[in-house]
Structure formats: structure tokens, C-alpha cells
Copies of this chain bind each other. A is one copy, B any other.
């Protein structure tokens, strides 16, 4: 391992601002269309600052993905841990908590997936990431189900995958309906109905 060059406070701050701005830029323009100038400019810098911190825009993109993933997992964990009790309402609480970050996360995650489908190297990274992510998530699902007095009728990993893919789909549907009028905070019909239905339909009472 090469010794890390000790990042200064100033440098860390610049990186953070670049990362934060990148979420918006990538969400709006996409990895392909976003230019280094867009990314630096959105953070209030010039390209000089960018190249001083990242070697390519893909470099920044991957760093952003890491940061967003970490924030998503933390949000879920926090919500679940601070829940007063476990019932189907927990699903709504989690969705509500994820909502503000959902659009950017969905887009970045999806573009990463496309990249992974095109490049075996990226594909391996992506798969590793997702296994870890879904493993943690499967534990949460299993715990919640147990507290509900139920058990899955198929391997919990598959149930989790099903829930996750439904949630992903819902993110897309919600983002698409962005212009359609809807009451603030309402989690959306599809997910509110379907997620619990699937959760119950693919599980059975314990006893």
C-alpha cells in the first residue's frame, strides 16, 4: 500500500463540494453528457480544481456512487432503529426518509448499472457492491418479517430482491410523474399498495 498523501482541510472541503454538486449535475445531464466544466462550475470551481482532485469524470462518478450508497444505507438503518415498533407502517416511514435523496440515487445507480453491463471490470465492482447492499437489506427484511410474526415462503434473498426491484421501479414511476399534481408527502399509490401486498403474499404466519 502506498502512503496516503495526507489530505489538507482545504482539499477535503473542495472534494466534498465537488461531490455534492456532482449529484445534481449527473442526475440532470447524465454521465455521458456532463462535462468536466459542468461539474467544476456547479461546485463553484474551474476545471483546474477538478483535475487537482479527480483524474476523470468517471472517477468522480464512482466516488459519488459510494457516497450516495452509504447515505442510503445509513438512512434505512437509522429509520429502522428508531422505529417505535415494527408493523407495515415501517415501510412507509422508510420510503419517506429515502424520498429526498431518491431521485439522484436512482439515476446514479441506474447509470452505474448500465456501465456495469458494458464493462466486465465495472460489472464485478457493481456486483460486489450489490451483494453487500442486498445482504444487509435481507437481514432487515427478515427481522421485520419475524416481528410481524411471519416467515418468507421463498428464500429471503429472493423476497428481498423482489421488494428492492419493486422499490426501484417505483422510484422511476414517481420521478416520471414529477409534473403531475400530488399531495406532498404522499408515498404514491403503487408502492403503498403493492409493497405490503407482496410482502404478505410471499410470506405466511409463523405458527
- The chain A residues found within 8 Å of chain B, CB to CB, are 27-33, 103, 106-107, 110-111, 113-114, 116-118, 120, 123, 126-127, 153-154, 158, 161-162, 164-166, 168-169, 172, 175-179, 190, 193-194, 197-198, 201-202
Complex Cα distance, B198 from A114, in Å, reads: 26
Closest chain B residue, CB of each to CB of A172: B113
Point out the residue from B33, B118, B166 that lies within 8 Å of A165, measured CB to CB. Answer: B166
The 4 residue pairs across chains A and B that have the minimum distance between CB atoms:
A32-B32, A201-B201, A165-B169, A201-B202
Complex Cα distance, B193 from A94, in Å, reads: 28
Known A-B contacts: A107-B114, A162-B198, A201-B201. Give 12 more (CB < 8 A).
A32-B32, A110-B113, A117-B176, A123-B178, A127-B177, A154-B193, A154-B194, A158-B197, A165-B165, A197-B202, A198-B201, A201-B202
Complex Cα distance, B115 from A107, in Å, reads: 10
Point out the residue from B114, B127, B153 that lies within 8 Å of A30, measured CB to CB. Answer: B114
Q: List 7 A-B contacts (CB under 8 A).
A: A107-B117, A123-B178, A123-B179, A126-B176, A154-B193, A161-B169, A162-B166
Point out the residue from B116, B168, B172 that lies within 8 Å of A169, measured CB to CB. Answer: B168
Report copies per complex.
Answer: 2
With a cutoff of 8 Å between Cβ atoms, the chain B residues found around residue A103 in the complex are 117
With a cutoff of 8 Å between Cβ atoms, the chain B residues found around residue A107 in the complex are 114, 117
Complex Cα distance, B59 from A137, in Å, reads: 41
Q: Are A153 and B118 in contact (CB under 8 A)?
A: no
Closest chain B residue, CB of each to CB of A111: B114
Closest chain B residue, CB of each to CB of A198: B162
Q: Are B117 and A194 in contact (CB under 8 A)?
A: no
Q: Are A162 and B114 in contact (CB under 8 A)?
A: no
With a cutoff of 8 Å between Cβ atoms, the chain B residues found around residue A194 in the complex are 154, 158, 161-162
A202: min CB distance to chain B, Å: 5
With a cutoff of 8 Å between Cβ atoms, the chain B residues found around residue A32 in the complex are 30-33
With a cutoff of 8 Å between Cβ atoms, the chain B residues found around residue A120 in the complex are 178-179
